[in-house]
Amino acid sequence: MKLIFATQNENKAQEIQSLLPEYFKIISLKDIRCFDEIPETAETLEGNSLLKASFISETYNLNCFADDTGLEIEALDNRPGVYSARYAGPEKSAAANINKVLLELEGKTARNAQFRTIITLILNTSIFTFEGIVRGEIISKKRGENGFGYDPIFVPEGEIRTFAEMSLEEKNKHSHRARAFQKMIEFLNQLKI
């Protein structure tokens, strides 16, 4: 089964393809020649996920899914949340976002956080939503070279390594995105498409 993944983020597409059984094939926006800036103007992860999936579904008349993920830090009133990708500005710099979070957490001992992913799947105009959460904490300095986004400063519960210190396979055992996609995969398997 082929599904369009409404993302321009190649790292994310690669991560998701690695989670799927071989009979699922992720088709990227590049594959369908979509280079539009997809709107992410909602105030919630759920809203952004739906905006992105709806844009592809309505523009290309194709089954698709989209996700939105936010890092929610307890001590920062769940910021950056829906603004995670552009927390330090519209250029979406991961390094600048990390630096801003670390600066705001200076002197704080409570560093509990969670990554939350919302996936919106549109199949033949029907809309389905799936959520994945992983709890953990924010460390005070970056560690690791793998992953992307906030991975170098997030340690999931039950681990001593950051996501950026894990291989993709190891990260997927803990990942919020993996948990949400597992729910979507189970749903699709039940449909026997």
Which residues are annotated as catalytic? Answer: 68
Q: Is residue 175 a contact partner of residue 114, using CB atoms and an 8 Å limit?
A: no
DSSP letters, 23-57, are T-EEE-TTTTT---------SSHHHHHHHHHHHHH
- Of 120, 122, 117, 87, which is closest to residue 105 (Cα–Cα)? 87
- Torsion-angle region of residue 107: left (phi > 0), alpha (psi -120 to 50) or beta? left
Return the residue matching tokens 């390094």.
95
